[in-house]
Amino acid sequence: MSILEALFLGVLQGATEFLPISSSGHLLLVPDLFNMTEPDLNLISIAHVGTLLAVLIYFRQDIWAIAAAIWQGVRERQLMGTTEARLGWFILAGSIPAAAIGIPFADKFDTWVTPVAAAVALYFTALFMVLGEQWLSGRKTLSSMGWADALWIGVAQMVALMPGISRSGATITAGLWRGLDRGTAARYSFLLGIPAIAGAGLLAVVDLVQAENWTAQLPALFATFAAAAVTGYLCIHFLLSWLKRRSLYLFVGYCVFFATVYLLVTLL
């Protein structure tokens, strides 16, 4: 794969990982739609690491505050004593459903799900977001979340393991259903995604170092990593800013449009 293709893959992964339009779906559909070379697994692996770096840098203050609050709560035997500590435990609990399914089966979804099925799943992503907008009430903040909220949003993240179902779209929608406003739901969605993205990044690094002749790909790997990290960071900032004032309907329209174009081109 050329440097240009590696950069494109990094931008694609960085954008679709955080915008509610499904990164796994795009990694299946874009190469098939444009008759591109199938993305190299090493490059996909390093792209995941790039998006992990983006989310860790963007939410570094939140991560530090949550970790410090959990440690303090453990020491003082008041596990739920602060909002940050509660948020940390909610994130851990909400990560369990996706981990329970993702660890044994995540690598099988890409072989079980065809590009056509992933395109159809994009319609469901769009439907979820429409429903989320209809359910929007904006009553809750992160400080007023409960265990039921964490569980439902965690189940939504598990559903998003299927290619074509956006992780951020599903979890933001679940947050809206549970009474969070758009900005708060998106922020919690990103924080909840950190363990999942970190797990995928760790598995990616293990696969990468076990691959043959991966050092020969260093220029392309660096290009993919850098593009994914920069694009991911910018897209996190864009989505959080967008949802403070606007709805999810932009991404609803994109999912419907892209899925329709793919199905028309492929099937007709």
pLDDT tens for each residue of 201-215: 777 777 777 766 666
Residue 155: which of 142, 174, 181, 182 has the closest Cα? 174
Position 1 scores a pLDDT of: 66
User: In total, how many domains does the chain have?
Assistant: 1
2 CB neighbour count, 10 Å cutoff: 11
Which pair of structure tokens corresponds to residue 125?
A: 């992503």
Average pLDDT over residues 121-145: 89
Whether 105 and 164 have beta carbons less than 8 Å apart is answered as no
Q: Are 225 and 49 in contact (CB under 8 A)?
A: yes
Question: In angstroms, rounded to a whole number, what is the distance separating the alpha carbons of residues 199 and 176?
Answer: 26
Please say if the pLDDT value at position 199 is more than 90: no
The pLDDT of residue 136 is above 80? yes
Measured CA to CA, the distance from residue 178 to residue 135 in angstroms comes to 8
- Closest listed residue to residue 224, CA positions, set 28, 27, 46: 46
Distance between CA 109 and CA 96 in Å, rounded? 18
Query: Cβ neighbours of residue 1 under 8 Å, at least 6 residues apart?
Result: 9, 37, 39, 40, 43, 220
Is 182:172 a contact under the CB 8 Å cutoff? yes
Is the Cβ–Cβ distance between 93 and 150 less than 8 Å? Answer: yes
Convert the pLDDT of each residue in 243-259 to its tens digit. 988 999 999 999 999 99
User: Which residues form the domain of 140?
Assistant: 3-267
